[in-house]
Amino acid sequence: MVVYVSFSPIGVFASDENGRERAFVSFPKEPELAARAMQDGMKTKLSREENEIVSKLKEKDVIFEIKKEDYKHEFPNPAGEALRKNMILIVEKQRLFKNRTEFHAFIHAVNFELSKGSMQKEPVNDKLIVHAINALDEIERTTNTLAMRLREWYGQYFPEAGYKLSDNKAFSEYISTTLYRSEVRGAEPHDSLGSDMSKEDLEEIRVFAKKILEDFKAREALEKYIELKAKKVCPNTHAILGGMMAARLLAHAGSLERLAKFPASTIQILGAERAFFRFKHGTGSSPKHGVIFNTRYLQSAPRDKKGKVARVLAGKLSIALKLDFYGGEFRGDALRKSVDSALLNQKSSMRPRPQGQGSFNSASHSHRSSRPQKLQTSEDPKNSGFRSGTARRPTNNANTRDNGSTFVKPKENVRPHAKGRGRSACKKRRK
């Protein structure tokens, strides 16, 4: 006879194929010990409670719900389904708790301990990179906003400096070091349109500029941290993309595990979800690339070859991410060389644009313009067949324009097309 075995927070349960109880071994009533017993039950080796229940059973044909050494497993099995459906009845039969309130409190405490243990065991290095790249974006957004405020503020005193110094960091350094009007890339101080300010007002602007410079230094330090962390967490991906782009991919996916399980097609359009869903609804074209568009491979690829380069890059990234997550060997250099060679092949396969097609060809134009042109008159019998590019004398015909070209009268009693609907819609309405 076959016996099925399963476990739950209350203990290990054995039943026959119809779900009738054959044996039961309870877990300790302390939530910490019960959670530890459940964690032992999830391993392939038999736990103490499982060994005890196997010793109670006389049958040798035992099937577990989770894979165990030297035993068969089947999920779900009758014991597991009976235990989950009738857990309260089993608790009342075994008299493990005084009432249902105490039982529910115990289940809540055990689940809390299990969640706590899984969070402590889960690697957090990829999550640190995600938080770091999000913090970098926030710093950059805040710094740009404050730099715009600084330009407007200092522009009351020396607006020409804001026009000449387009870089926000250089502009902040100029204010924090120089402050007063001085020659900036051709802007003369004595020709400034700004108004004079007191020393106290200018010193307050300098303090504000120094705070912005501190944000710039924090951003640079955070970029270095992301580079080092990405090289340690995902070395193969870092070898292909670099630290910043690898961190961008991680931030979009949420974790290295999820990113490693993505197919290459998902990695290719990761970051272009809005365009993809527009395409699914039939209001746009299918996107060829997402975040990886900002890599050097796609930036230097020919415009009509970007899709092919994106597919090759996504395929190599899929291999690199799996190597990084599952602990494979380092193959980043070989993968990077393969992407580089694919990019060179796409560049070398470009055909030169034929002259005279799609562009103005001066040689052919001069050749055509050098041909002798026949001057047509009104007495010429070929006058009715007007050709473009030939001279024609004006006539006194009522159906001609002033320059001699034939005047075509508009058709009368013709129903206009429906606006924005085309000829087919008009034909349907007439029918």
Asked if residue 184 and residue 91 are part of one domain, the reply reads no
Asked if residue 117 and residue 131 are part of one domain, the reply reads no
Q: What is the CATH number of the domain that holds 95?
A: 3.30.420.220
Q: Which residue has the higher pLDDT, 264 or 192?
A: 264
Residue 298 lies in a domain: yes
Residue range 151-157: average pLDDT?
A: 91
Tokens for 361, please give them: 């060809």
Q: Is the distance from CB of 332 to CB of 240 less than 8 angstroms?
A: yes
Domain tally, the chain: 3
Q: Is 246 helix (H, G, I), strand (E, B) or coil?
A: helix
Q: Is 392 helix (H, G, I), strand (E, B) or coil?
A: strand
Tokens for 341, please give them: 């060679």
* pLDDT for 48 beyond 70: yes
Asked if residue 239 and residue 206 are part of one domain, the reply reads no
Asked if residue 154 and residue 113 are part of one domain, the reply reads no
Give the number of other Cβ atoms within 10 Å of residue 261's Cβ.
Answer: 14
Total residue length of the chain: 431
Taking Cα atoms as reference points, which of 156, 151, 148, 161 lies closest to residue 201?
Answer: 156
Edge-to-edge strand list for the sheet holding 72-73: 21-26, 11-15, 3-8, 62-64, 72-73
When the pLDDT of each residue in the chain is averaged and rounded to a whole number, the result is: 81
Q: How confident is the model at residue 376 (pLDDT cuts 50, 70, 90)?
A: very low
Kindly report, residue by residue over 207-233, the tens digit of the pLDDT. Answer: 999 999 999 999 999 999 999 999 999
- Cα dihedral sign for 136, 137, 140, 142? negative
Q: What is the pLDDT of residue 79?
A: 87
Asked if residue 343 and residue 265 are part of one domain, the reply reads yes
Residue 380 lies in a domain: no
Which of 35-49, 69-83, 261-275, 347-361 has the lowest average pLDDT? 347-361
Residue 171 lies in a domain: yes
Q: Which residue has the tokens 């405020």?
A: 149
Residue 268 lies in a domain: yes
Which of 58-67, 187-196, 367-376 has the lowest average pLDDT? 367-376
CB-based burial, 116-138: b 16+ in 10 Å, e otherwise: eeeeeeeeeebeebbebbeebee
Classify residue 189 by its DSSP letter: G
Q: What is the pLDDT of residue 382?
A: 45
Asked if residue 259 and residue 172 are part of one domain, the reply reads no
Asked if residue 153 and residue 244 are part of one domain, the reply reads no
Helix/strand/coil percentages in the chain, nearest 5: 60, 5, 35
Phi-psi region at 20: left, alpha or beta (left = phi > 0; alpha = psi -120 to 50): beta
Q: How confident is the model at residue 235 (pLDDT cuts 50, 70, 90)?
A: very high
Q: Is 184 helix (H, G, I), strand (E, B) or coil?
A: strand
262: Cβ contacts below 8 Å, ≥ 6 apart: 253, 270, 318, 321
Tokens for 16, please give them: 């026959």
Taking Cα atoms as reference points, which of 227, 260, 126, 344 lies closest to residue 270?
Answer: 260
Q: What is the C-alpha separation between 318 and 295, in angstroms, rounded?
A: 16
Q: What is the CATH number of the domain that holds 285?
A: 1.10.246.90
Give the containing element (helix H, strand E) for 299: helix 296-300
Give the containing element (helix H, strand E) for 60: none
149 CA to centre of own chain: 31
Q: How confident is the model at residue 123 (pLDDT cuts 50, 70, 90)?
A: low
pTM: 0.61
Domain range holding 80? 3-121
Question: Beta partners for 21?
Answer: 15
Vertex 276: Cα angle to 270 and 282 (nearest 5) = 175
Residue 241 lies in a domain: yes
Q: How confident is the model at residue 413 (pLDDT cuts 50, 70, 90)?
A: low
Q: What is the pLDDT of residue 205?
A: 93
Phi, psi values for residue 117, rounded to 5°: -65, -40
143: Cβ contacts below 8 Å, ≥ 6 apart: 168, 212, 215, 216, 219
Asked if residue 198 and residue 165 are part of one domain, the reply reads yes
